[in-house]
Amino acid sequence: MKPIVVLGSVNMDLVLNCPTLPLPGQTVQGDDFKTLPGGKGANQAVAAVRLGAAVSFIGCVGDDDFGRSTRAVLVAEGIDTSQLRTVAGVATGVAMIMVEASGQNCIALSAGANGALSVAQVDEAAATIEGAALLICQLESPLPAVQRAIAIAHAAGVPVLLNPAPAQPLPAELLAQVDVLVPNESEAAVLLGLVPGAAFDAAAAAEALRALGPRTVIVTLGAAGVQVAGDGNNRHIAAKPVKAIDTTGAGDTFIGAYAAARCAGAYLHAAVAYAQQAAAFSVARAGTIDAMPRVGDLPPLKAASA
Ligand code: RIB
């Protein structure tokens, strides 16, 4: 089985539960503080491997306790970490996460060692990328490294899935090399240069993003489901209602599950439905990686449907 290659971030998440998220200048009393492995790259890699994919990871951690423990988690999940570099003298990436009682969160990041992922490291991993079933990238890694990995994959005919998070405007040449783009609403708005807070039309946004190059655009809309634009159709797929405990990493779970399903042969809408089930499973539980499903936790994947 060809692996899914995930190029991305590894963070230690410092997670505090709060009754409500603090406003600027406000102090709120939280409880149940935890340190948990995270990072969008690591999360997506774990979500995919738990659902049956072979996964190789390209990224960086620091030479510190957070780096050692996050690496150990990826290894224990069965992910190939031979191209997860330990960078001397730099701290592992950290995410400060507050989760309120509704399940919503806010996150502030320190890139740390994630910022050390270089074009040279990507070039060293070229054979791995060229041998992938799918390359998955996000934007918690330096853009030149992401661009290089996508260019290598594109030249080798390896499909590319980009999760443009955290949001930033992207060069047209980059988007033209992406096969599957998976933004949330605010990331889609940034890519399209929409006015922040303006009314958002998910169907129009998905079509406008497709016009920039990706063959498939999946706009994740949280509890409102997803908007999927692919060849010849653009449709909204509702999410089943779920009582949210913690939405952190729901998008990452969706992406890893979608990737695993596609690489197992599922058609687009079957893979999206499977990914929605995986994300719903994760938001109903606390934590990010801790909350991700394994194969037996979900109804069997329907490999064939439109
Ligand atoms: O998407 C959730 C992730 O975003 C967290 O695990 C945190 O590390 C940040 O990268």
Q: What is the mean pLDDT of each run of 10 residues along the chain (306 residues)?
A: 97 96 95 96 98 98 98 98 98 96 92 98 98 98 98 98 97 97 96 90 97 97 96 92 92 98 95 97 94 96 59
The domain limits of the chain are 4-20+33-297
Question: What is the C-alpha radius of gyration for the chain, rounded to an integer number of angstroms?
Answer: 18
How far apart CA 63 and CA 113 sit, in angstroms, is: 9
Is omega for the bond preceding 166 within 30 degrees of 0, making it cis? yes
How far apart CA 257 and CA 271 sit, in angstroms, is: 8
Distance 165 CA to ligand 1 centre (A): 10
Cβ(37) to ligand 1 under 6 A?
no
Give the N- to C-terminal CA distance of the chain in Å, as an integer. Answer: 24
Give the distance from CA 222 to its chain's centroid: 14
* 4-20+33-297 belongs to CATH 3.90.1150.10: no
Beta strand 105-110 with 93-100 is: antiparallel
Report pLDDT for 269: 93
**Does the model's pTM come out above 0.85?**
yes
Distance 38 CA to ligand 1 centre (A): 5
* Annotated catalytic residue 31: no
Joined tokens for residue 304: 């064939």
Using DSSP's 3-state secondary structure scheme, residue 2 falls into: coil
Cβ(177) to ligand 1 under 6 A?
no
Backbone angles phi, psi at 233, to 5 degrees: -150, 155
Q: Which residues contact 120 (CB under 8 A, 6 or more apart)?
A: none
Report pLDDT for 303: 60
